[in-house]
Structure 1
Amino acid sequence: EQYMESINYKKLFTQKIQHQEFIHKLDEFIEHHNDEIKDQDEQIMGILKYLTEWLVNHILYVDGQIAEFVSKM
């Protein structure tokens, strides 16, 4: 986010919201995990699936737009 701010990235606000939503979702996983230990394997698989999908999508598509923005500077 600091880098995006330093280049005056136009979609910085959107990025910040997505990052906050990501953190909120992880917090939900942690809270749920602490409540019901009995489904631990299922919870771990859910977390891994979410992390993988979010990170791949975010890095390839959303962060990829930053590279496009920089190349046009």
Structure 2
Amino acid sequence: MKSVSIDELRQSTESIVREAAQEATLVTDQGEVVAVIEAAKPISQGRRFPSGHWESIRRPQLNGDSTDAVSADRDR
């Protein structure tokens, strides 16, 4: 596993982060490990909403500026 100091990380962040995508990198401060930079794991997208879901939701019908409606709702 590769190791870099905080100063090296500050000077070469872009290349170190790109390399860390392939192999985890330890970040050290005065010889002590303080962090690990490694590739992010893909985020699960979870279950998707069915097609047309958002169109079926009823939305309030407002005439004019919505500021009054928002204020009234907030003050409830």
- What TM-score, normalized to structure 1? 0.22
Question: Could you say which structure has the higher strand fraction?
Answer: 2
Q: More helix per residue: 1 or 2?
A: 1
Tell me the TM-score normalized by structure 2: 0.21
The higher radius of gyration belongs to 2
